[in-house]
């Protein structure tokens, strides 16, 4: 079943797939002609692999379930390996659950459409939430092992993928309850590692309600805190350095359903001096009308489910890279593209919003990946599956000019 476009500027929909009726798409990543999709967990699916050699006609080649009481919603592909997280699901169960899987599964992808598992790193506790790995010896991740109040930042050594080994852990002081540390933050204030991206020797780590932590990770086995910055927003998710710009783009994830959910925004941070990050401003918030054809035009904030930022395209090696254009998912407001050539005047230059997919009240654009050809792959965390967007000529030319 197709899902139509509700609103678009600079982008057009050229292909989509409902993932076999299990459309709860989470992280998406293209590697060659293979598209790897992690699932949110609500459908029970774990990972899907599609052949996207014809982007307008993606074809589902392989799909397998997640282990019981577990979701495997993140994928990372590089150096002939596929890494997939294992984490307890639901995050906050309303009743006791049975056993779950907790860690990172490691697959060889000599045959991209037929991964072969060769290793597993057992994290314990609730498992691993987010993995950051572009190849090489060390993979970095957030997870909540036993003895900690919430997720911390961890690194494993993949020199032998069959036998991954923990090499380092970093946490906010007070998180190690099993070691006698006492939390000194207020009830309701969440201190938890989420997602860290690297520029040079620094890792810029989103730490939920504690916002930004900058780590010196020149030696991955001994991360060292360099600085912190708080701005009062909550649920800080992705911190994307724009290479060579001294700028950081940060999403505070919307975790509350609407109508009128708690406001979340995308921020610009000055990191010319990583030891003294400085808050600059927010990026424009979408204000266009409802993407639901059956409703009279209303603001996104008046819709059910989530409206606000989530993921950014991360400028990975082998993908489209820019130090100027920022590609973001905004849940019910779809995909938004920003030009930050002038940090004092960031502007939105393109967007795409789908109609509500069958089985969902509104769209919930979740993750995106801009491939080396400039195509944008987008997942919907509800029931929409995965979409392929193509830039129209004006945006395509801007992308060409802004490519790193």
Mind listing the pLDDT tens digit for each residue in 126-139? 999 999 999 999 99
Contacts of 295 by beta carbon, 8 Å cutoff, 6+ apart? none
pLDDT at res. 233: 83
pLDDT range class, residue 93, cuts 50, 70, 90? confident
pLDDT at res. 92: 84
Tokens, residue 101: 């899987």
Gap between the Cα atoms of 278 and 248, Å rounded: 10
Q: What's the chain's average pLDDT? A: 96
Q: What is the pTM of this model?
A: 0.96
pLDDT surpassing 80 at residue 184: yes
SS3 301: helix
Gap between the Cα atoms of 301 and 332, Å rounded: 9
Domains and CATH numbers, the chain: 5-402 (2.130.10.10)
pLDDT at res. 95: 84
Tell me which residue has tokens 């030009």.
Answer: 339
Which DSSP symbol is given to 177?
Answer: G
Mind listing the pLDDT tens digit for each residue in 289-347? 656 555 556 789 999 999 999 999 999 999 999 999 999 999 999 999 999 999 999 99
Mind listing the pLDDT tens digit for each residue in 349-402? 999 999 999 999 999 999 999 999 999 999 999 999 999 999 999 999 999 999
pLDDT at res. 290: 58
Contacts of 262 by beta carbon, 8 Å cutoff, 6+ apart? 234, 254, 256
pLDDT at res. 94: 82
Quickly list DSSP for 88-117.
Answer: ESSSS-SS-------EEEEEE-SSTTS-EE
pLDDT at res. 285: 94
Average pLDDT over residues 196-206: 97
Gap between the Cα atoms of 268 and 248, Å rounded: 6
For the chain, helix, strand, coil in percent to 5 are: 5, 45, 50
Beta-bridged to residue 170, according to DSSP, are 153
Mind listing the pLDDT tens digit for each residue in 56-76? 999 999 999 999 999 999 999
Could you tell me how far CA 31 lies from the centroid of its own chain?
A: 17
Gap between the Cα atoms of 222 and 225, Å rounded: 10
Tell me which residue has tokens 């990172």.
Answer: 104
Tokens, residue 299: 């603001």
Tokens, residue 298: 């209303």
Gap between the Cα atoms of 355 and 3, Å rounded: 6
pLDDT at res. 303: 93
Please provide residue 316's backbone torsions phi and psi, each rounded to the nearest 5 degrees: -65, 155
Share above pLDDT 70 across residues of the chain, in percent, rounded to a whole number? 97
Average pLDDT over residues 218-238: 95
């Amino acid at each position: 079943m197709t899902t139509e476009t509700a609103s678009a500027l600079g982008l057009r929909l050229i292909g989509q797939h409902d993932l076999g009726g299990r459309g709860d798409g989470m992280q998406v990543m293209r590697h060659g002609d293979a598209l790897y999709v992690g699932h949110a967990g609500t459908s029970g699916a774990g990972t899907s692999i599609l052949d996207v050699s014809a982007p307008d006609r993606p074809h589902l080649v392989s799909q397998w379930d997640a282990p019981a009481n577990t979701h495997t919603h993140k994928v990372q592909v590089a150096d002939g390996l596929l890494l997939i997280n294992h984490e307890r699901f639901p995050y906050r169960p309303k009743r006791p659950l049975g056993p779950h899987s907790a860690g990172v599964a490691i697959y060889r992808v000599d045959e991209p459409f037929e991964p072969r598992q060769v290793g597993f790193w057992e994290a314990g506790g609730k498992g691993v939430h987010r993995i950051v790995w572009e190849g090489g010896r060390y993979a970095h991740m957030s997870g909540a092992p036993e003895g900690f109040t919430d997720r911390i930042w961890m690194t494993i050594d993949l020199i032998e993928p069959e036998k991954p080994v923990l090499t380092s852990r970093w946490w906010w002081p007070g998180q190690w309850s099993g070691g006698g540390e006492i939390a000194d933050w207020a009830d309701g204030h969440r201190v938890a590692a989420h997602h860290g991206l690297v520029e040079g020797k620094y890792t810029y780590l989103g730490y939920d309600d504690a916002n930004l932590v900058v780590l010196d990770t020149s030696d991955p086995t001994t991360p060292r805190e360099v600085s912190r910055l708080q701005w009062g927003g909550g649920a800080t998710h992705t911190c994307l350095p724009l290479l060579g710009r001294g700028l950081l783009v940060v999403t505070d994830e919307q975790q509350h359903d609407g109508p009128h959910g708690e406001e979340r925004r995308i921020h610009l941070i000055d990191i010319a001096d990583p030891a003294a990050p400085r808050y600059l401003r927010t990026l424009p918030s979408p204000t266009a009308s409802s993407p639901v054809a059956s409703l009279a035009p209303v603001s996104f904030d008046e819709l059910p489910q989530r409206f606000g930022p989530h993921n950014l395209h991360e400028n990975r090696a082998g993908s489209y890279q820019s130090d100027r254009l920022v590609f973001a998912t905004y849940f019910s407001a779809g995909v938004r593209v920003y030009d930050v050539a002038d940090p004092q005047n960031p502007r939105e230059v393109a967007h795409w919003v789908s109609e509500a997919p069958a089985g969902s009240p509104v769209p919930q654009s979740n993750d995106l990946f801009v491939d080396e050809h400039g195509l944008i792959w987008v997942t919907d965390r509800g029931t929409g599956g995965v979409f392929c967007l193509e830039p129209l000529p004006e945006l395509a030319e801007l992308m060409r000019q802004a490519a790193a």
